[in-house]
Each structure stands twice: as C-alpha cells, then as structure tokens.
Amino acid sequence: MSTTQLYFDHCASTLPHPDVIRTVAEVMEQVYANPSSIHGAGGQAEQLLRRAREVVARALQVEPEEILFTSGATESNNLAIFGIAKTHQAAGKPVHIIVSEIEHASVYKCVQQLEQEGVEVTYLPVDTNGRVRPEDVEAAIRPHTVLVSIMHVNNEMGAIQPVGEIGQILRRYPKVTFHVDGVQGLGKVPVRLAEWGVDLYSLSGHKIQGPRGAGVLVKRKHIMLQPLMYGGAQEGELRPGTENVPAIVGLAKAVRLAVEGQAERYNKLTRLRQSALEHLSQLKPLVVNSPADPYSAPHIINISFPGMKSEVVVHALEQKGIIVSTQSACSSKLHKPSRVLLAMTHDSKRASSGIRISLDASNTEMEIDRLVKSFKEMTEQLQPLVQR
C-alpha cells in the first residue's frame, strides 16, 4: 500500500500489533510440534495452547474450559448457531430461532439455511438508531425457541445493541440460549459476558490487531453443541483438527491487549469520530446513518451519498488516497443495497450509497482532516453526476 494512502477500513481488517507479529513469528520458528503428540516437543506446544486459553479466559472473565479456538468468527458463529439447532433437531424437537435483520452474513445466512431445513426463524426489525428493541425479543419468544442471536456492535453502521437488557430478559427463559457476535465490540466498548448472561460469544483475531485465521467461541459449560466437523478430540471434540498454535498464541496476546487498552482506545476513538462527524455532517449531499452517542460504537461512521452508487464513492476516494468501504467486507462485492441500511432507514437510495469509515486508535487528527477534505472534494466532483 502506498505511503500516501490513509486506511479507514479497520472493521474489515486491522494491522497486526507489532507484539503479536513477533509472538507469532517466534512460536512458528521455535514450537512446531503437534500439541496432541505425547512427546516432549508436543507437550511444549500443548503448554502454549493451555496458556493461550487461560489468557483469553482471564480477559473475558470466563473459565479456560469455556474457550474454543476456531479459524475465525464465521466458524464460531456457524458452530454456535448450527450447533444449537442440530442439538435440538437431533432430539426430535421443533426449533425456533430469533435474530435481528441486521446480523452479519455469517449469522444471517446460517439461519436462512436452517429455514430451508424446516427451522422457524423470526427476524427482528430495528429502530431508527439501528437497535433491536428488547421488548420485541421477548414478544417473539415461543415455547420452542432455542436460540436468540444478537450482535453486540453492528459492523456497518456501528449501533451498539442492548445485549445487556436482552440478556436480563432471557434469564427468565432458561431454555433459550443467548449468542452474541462480539466481533466489532471487543476492545472498543466494554464487554461483560457474565453480567449479560451470554451463553455463546464469537470473536475474530484480525479485527483486534491479531492474526487472520484465528478466532474464539466462548461456550458456557452448560451449553450443549453438536459439532460441524468430526475427527480428533481437539477443542472438546467440537473443533477437530491440529490447532494453529502460533496463530492462537498471537490471538491470545491480541485479546489481552484489546481488553487492557479498551478504555484509553474508546476515549481516543470517540474524539476522532466526533471530529470527523462534526465536519462530514455539514457536507449537504451526505447523510449520516450511524446513530448518535450513546448508541454508537466509537470507531464506525456510516454515511450515504444518496443518488450515487457506494462503489463509485469508494473508488473516487481511493484516487485521493483514502481507503474506506461499503458494506461488510464479506458482502461488499455483491453490488446490492445494504440489507442493514435498508432495515434501518427503509430508504433504497441511502442503502445503495452507504459508505463505512472505520477508525483505529492509530489514526490521528491530521488524518481526519485529510479524510474530511477528501470527502469535500469528492462530493463536489460527483454531485453533478447524482442520479435524481
């Protein structure tokens, strides 16, 4: 990437922390035995794996045996959702699942697939702040509801979901499992799994300055899951296959750093976001989609340029050295209106022209100034081309 380019797509992927890079490299070079092997070298790898599990558990305030290592949040979400559904289906029971209309594709497409297999799914709407109403969750619960899956922070427009309130409601329904996709929350806003009553919680390493290909599923002890894959006994027989020890150790370091630095990171990101919004909101063609504080995460700004395709805006800004995105990276190449923005705004023009700016604590005020300047130039250039 050219040194003149500024990266504002940290929701898609983050630059690994230097300490994480060094850790992964050292483990790759020095510890290459299979952690399942019974010889001394295998024991050394197993010890690193155990320490990594303890580090993640301590950071999230859960038990080490409640930590499952996966390849990332997509696998974690799939294991959580299919795992719960298949467990109940295997017992011959009807299955009903509740999700929001704005879940990430790795949740949304899971439940769509389950619908095709006969599972009942309720898709909850969101309000004008892009938030699920807790009372809607309770109203949707049926006798055969087995799972509620609500993300912590929406990955497109940054709305913080009321997972604490939802968790308190679900305590009255002990047969309902509560899953939270926590990918965009950890390290940016506080995470309190025990207080919220979360049963399953998904994380991805490369969203928090960790390595790609490493993730976590927190699974409380009382939760039963049917595995998606079969083979060895790794990860409690729920995720067979030789563990990627270097990536897992790097992930553990990234989780610890994310949690330890959360408060300071929140303060800086909030300042940067407020500075950007103060100026971007004054550019008349633009419409801010992200909710205002306290309902928005500090690192995400979503703006629409109604009448202009979002991919045109992305490429126009890239010509100015500004890297932003449209929808989630998983959906950005579909060239369709954002499902998330449609659910929130009910406006197809805004949903077709949404731009996501996602910040990192490494960004500076000078970079925000350049971002705003580039947006101003871009709007002036493209305004005559707007589709009326």
Encode pLDDT of 249-282 as tens digits.
Answer: 999 999 999 999 999 999 999 999 999 999 999 9
pTM score, two decimals?
0.95
Report CA-CA distances (Å) from 321 to 9, 238, 304, 315, 368. 13, 44, 19, 10, 13
Lowest mean pLDDT among 76-80, 172-176, 215-219, 381-385: 381-385
Catalogue the E-assigned strands of 235-353.
287-288, 300-304, 322-323
**Beta carbons within 10 angstroms of residue 173's beta carbon:** 14
* CA of residue 115 relative to chain centroid, distance: 23
Nearest to 154 by CA among 354, 361, 365: 354
pLDDT in tens, 157-176: 999 999 999 999 999 999 99
In whole angstroms, what is the distance from residue 189 CA to residue 135 CA? Answer: 23
Average pLDDT over residues 80-108: 96
User: Which is catalytic among the residues 323, 330, 382, 386?
Assistant: 330
pLDDT in tens, 202-211: 999 999 999 9
User: Is residue 332 very low, low, confident or very high in pLDDT (cuts 50, 70, 90)?
Assistant: very low
Q: Give yes or no: 330 in active site.
A: yes
Sheet containing 215-219: which strands, arranged edge to edge? Answer: 67-70, 215-219, 200-204, 177-181, 145-149, 96-100, 120-124
Beta-carbon contacts of 139 under 8 Å, excluding residues fewer than 6 positions away, are none
